[in-house]
Amino acid sequence: MQTIKKAAHKTYERTPELIRSVESIIKSVKEKGDDALKTLSEKFDGIPLKNIKVSRQDIEEAYKLISPETIRHLKFAASQIEFYAKKQLECLKELEIPSKVDGVTLGHRLIPVDACGAYVPGGRYPLPSTALMLAIPAKVAGVKRIAAVSPASKKYGKIHPAVLVAMDIAGVNEIYCVGGAQAVGALTYGTSTITPVDMIVGPGNRYVTEAKRQVLGEVGIDSLAGPSEVLIIADGTTHADYTAMDILAQSEHDPNARAILITTDKKYAEEVEEKIKKYVKELPTGETAYKSWEDNGIILLAENENEMVDAANKLAPEHLEIHTADSVKLSGRLKNYGSLFIGEYTPVAFGDYCSGTNHTLPTMRTARYSNGVYVGTFIKTSFYQHITQTGCKNLADTCMHLAEVEGLMAHQKSVSIRLE
């Protein structure tokens, strides 16, 4: 494997300063509650908060601040996400079976968590799509209480109206105007305004990610997200324009986003680089996207298709695109990715907004062992057994022997007493 372009620096680093800063924020929220949320919001977002909880009137006003066309498209995207989530739910089945041992019944039940928090980032751009992606699968899963948080927009002095409308369309029960590590702390430990949740989902900056790491155990989380990523496999038979634009689409997220191209065709790689330089001049986000590509982008030249596949499986990217002569066939050989985009007419943008799959995905190679947010994220698979007197006798010898081997004599006695 030959490297044509290297990344200039590492895009994510967990520093001692970050850890201490987040510890301090969470401690402040635990001790001072709403007062801390208001102080920290003004400190970090530059916006004094009058009310942390968003009222129904605020939501109705938000509908008036965005176009009917935006509302229509949000509803279309929501219907796609809901359709996919419902089909996923159909794949999850409860279980009850008789064991091979007479008198023993085994099973599991699918139980949604009672309450989840959905973190919708603010930052450079409003992200109404993320509100849909987090809340709709939770609603379909049967979560009774969905509490969404998002920082105030500088333009509006409150949550961006498109985000508020998306939260409402998605069926969120409670909305709070608070972001950052302090929002994670509030969802975990509660304040006088915010009741704690059982699970927190959603992406965020490094402060949000570190906060989720620190509260893990007190609450469940979906994942520890790093900067967004795309890896594109291309054999030189598809449009270089599409590949170049998909690289820029990923790179425009933020200065730490990473795009990787793996190809078997050097001329194609060179053409993609030229196309990138051309398109950055046409994009209002071109400067940000190009800097991200220059700093973090990678181009690898593989000897053959096998080498491309092996590299992709090792890198385990968040988004994986296949631009080859037979993308469908090649897709069957790929196993480590957050979401797979098969064929040159399947850009990541569709998954980000409206195809129906979720865009909250594992990053930093965690796709080797984890998956993105989906309806099952919010469902516990809880085991059970029912053992009759006959089953008790049939299991007793093995159970009592192993209890004795481990020296846990009350375990042994808890069985033997039932045989007397």
Catalytic residue among 82, 174, 273, 318: 318
Q: Say if residues 244 and 275 touch (Cβ distance below 8 Å).
A: yes
Three-state DSSP class for 190? coil
Find out whether 276 and 293 touch, Cβ atoms under 8 Å. Answer: yes
Q: Is 256 annotated as a binding residue?
A: no
Report DSSP state, residue 66.
Answer: S
Question: Between vectors from CA 249 to CA 243 and to CA 251, what angle results, nearest 5°?
Answer: 105
Residue with tokens 């006798």: 393
406 annotated among ligand-binding-site residues = yes
The answer to whether residues 221 and 212 touch, using CB atoms and an 8 Å cutoff, is: yes
The response to whether 250 counts as a known ligand-binding position is yes
| Residue 401 is assigned to a ligand binding site | no
Give the DSSP H/E element, type plus range, for residue 161: helix 161-170
Residue 108 annotated among the catalytic residues of the structure: no
Tell which residue, 36, 133, 28, has the closest CA to residue 357.
Answer: 133
Structure tokens at 251: 């790179």
94 annotated as a binding-site residue: no
150 is in an annotated binding site: no
Residue 372: partners with Cβ closer than 8 Å, 6 or more residues away: 223, 338, 339, 358, 359, 360, 361, 362
- Cα–Cα dist 102/249, whole Å: 60
239 carries a ligand binding annotation: no
- DSSP letter at 13 equals -
318 catalytic? Reply is: yes
Q: Which two tokens stand for residue 31?
A: 């001790």
**Given 82, 174, 319, 359, the catalytic residue:** 319
Helix (H/G/I), strand (E/B), else coil: 132: helix
**Cross-strand partners of 322:** 233, 342
411 assigned ligand-binding residue:
yes
Which runs of consecutive H residues, i.e. helices, occur in 5-120?
16-32, 34-45, 56-65, 68-91
User: CB–CB of 261/320 below 8 Å?
Assistant: no
Residue for token pair 């049939």: 394
**Residue linked to tokens 């739910």:** 89
**182 annotated ligand-binding residue:** yes
> Alpha-carbon distance 130 to 166, whole Å?
9
Asked if 296 contacts 253 with a C-beta cutoff of 8 angstroms, the reply is: no
Binding positions for NAD(+): 119, 182, 205
Catalogue the active-site residues: 318-319
Binding positions: 119, 182, 205, 228, 250, 253, 319, 352, 406, 411
Binding positions for Zn(2+): 250, 253, 352, 411
Binding positions for substrate: 228, 250, 253, 319, 352, 406, 411
